Amino acid sequence: MNPSTRRPSTPPVSTAPPFTGGPPLRLPATGPGERWIFGFPGGLTAEVHTLGARLHALWAPDRHGTPADVVLAPRDPARTADAARYFGSTVGRYANRIARGRFSLDGETYRLTTQDDGHSLHGGTDGFDTRLWEAESVHTPALTGVLLHLRSPDGDQGFPGDLHVTVSVLIGRDDELTFSYSAFTDAPTPVNLTNHAYFNLEGEAAGDVLGHELTVDADRYTPVDADLIPIGDHRPVTGAAFDLRRPLGIAEALARPGGGGGYDHNFVLHARDGETPRRAAVLYAPATGRRLEVLTTEPGLQVYTGGQFDGSVLGKSGTPYRASAGVALETQHFPDSPNRPDDPSTVLRPGDEYRSRTVLRFGTRD
């Protein structure tokens, strides 16, 4: 976007986090679970809730050093239903969709709880986003944050195996927020975890992200049917609305043929070794100069531009979230992988450890 066409930045309602540094602080509860706030002065500050292990707020400075909360969340942090359900939450046991809520593993068929469309989404009707996680704080000169723990018993939402999950949410002095996931099981089971934050780098109450620029390091994407279930093989992005290999305004991208409904698609990221996070995407807001670089060990990135937001969710500042109020950049394995043998496996077996890491690297541009 040419600087002369930048949209004016909407002044955020709250420009400073209620935290001045030191070890993570447990805040007074405003509903079920605990609230933790942490960060470093002059850099990132986050608020995490143990209900759903969710990122409820994230303050980041703009090009002038002024912080604003760039993560969407409902005014009521205890709201875990309807359109507000997944905002900022840790979703699992299987992020994204499993077709018809069933899969076969080692010769046995498993049936999961399903949503109204007959498919399993983000772990089923009572996924990890609805659970109260246990939390402990971490603080060193270089890192600060929380560790969150959850046990998912055998048969939970239909999944086999007793699963123990740990998610760490840590901020470094280098303005990086890192999500690290670990899990163990006593029986083979699919596992696919991610965080479901929606970002607006102009501020959570600023309106929409159509003026943002997005880059995704993917040569292929996953086509889907009307229920957003994968169909056929992964397709090249060339010549499609899904070609985001160079920075492109979100409004311009969605104006391309095939982009009118917005994105809610998996992008097949460039090859990675599973150990070292590599760049997956860059989100940039010309109006504020904020820049978010997403790095991950995961093979896929689900990009969702919030096309179904209809104003029914009131944000933290009282602003209704309407279409494209934020964009989710969900690092994960591919949708419906348990039923697609050519996709990277999501099966975790006893004696193995599930590990995944995603880094959100914040900065600014003039």
Q: What is the 3-state secondary structure (H, E, C) of 59-127?
A: EEECCCCCEEECECCECCCCCCCHHHCCCCCEECCECCEEHHHEEEECCEEEECCCCCCCCEECCCCCC
Given a contact cutoff of 8 angstroms between Cβ atoms, the answer to whether 325 and 309 are in contact is: yes
- Of residues 196, 212, 234, 265, which has the active-site annotation? 196
Residue identified by tokens 């959850």 is: 150
The verdict on whether 34 is a catalytic residue reads: no
Burial profile 117-147: b = 16 or more Cβ within 10 angstroms, e = fewer: eebbbbbbeebbbbbebebeeeeeeebbbbb
Token output for 250: 């979100």
Residue 243, judged by CB atoms within 10 A of its CB (0-12, 13-18, 19+), counts as: middle
Residues in the chain: 366
User: What secondary structure does DSSP assign to 224-269, as a single string?
Assistant: B-TTS-B-SS-EE-TTSTT--SS-EEHHHHHTSTT-TT--EEEEEE
Rounded to whole angstroms, how far apart are CA atoms 16 and 67?
Answer: 6
Q: Which residues pair with 151 in a beta bridge?
A: 164
- Of residues 47, 212, 330, 333, which has the active-site annotation? 330
The verdict on whether 196 is a catalytic residue reads: yes
Catalytic annotation, residues: 196, 330
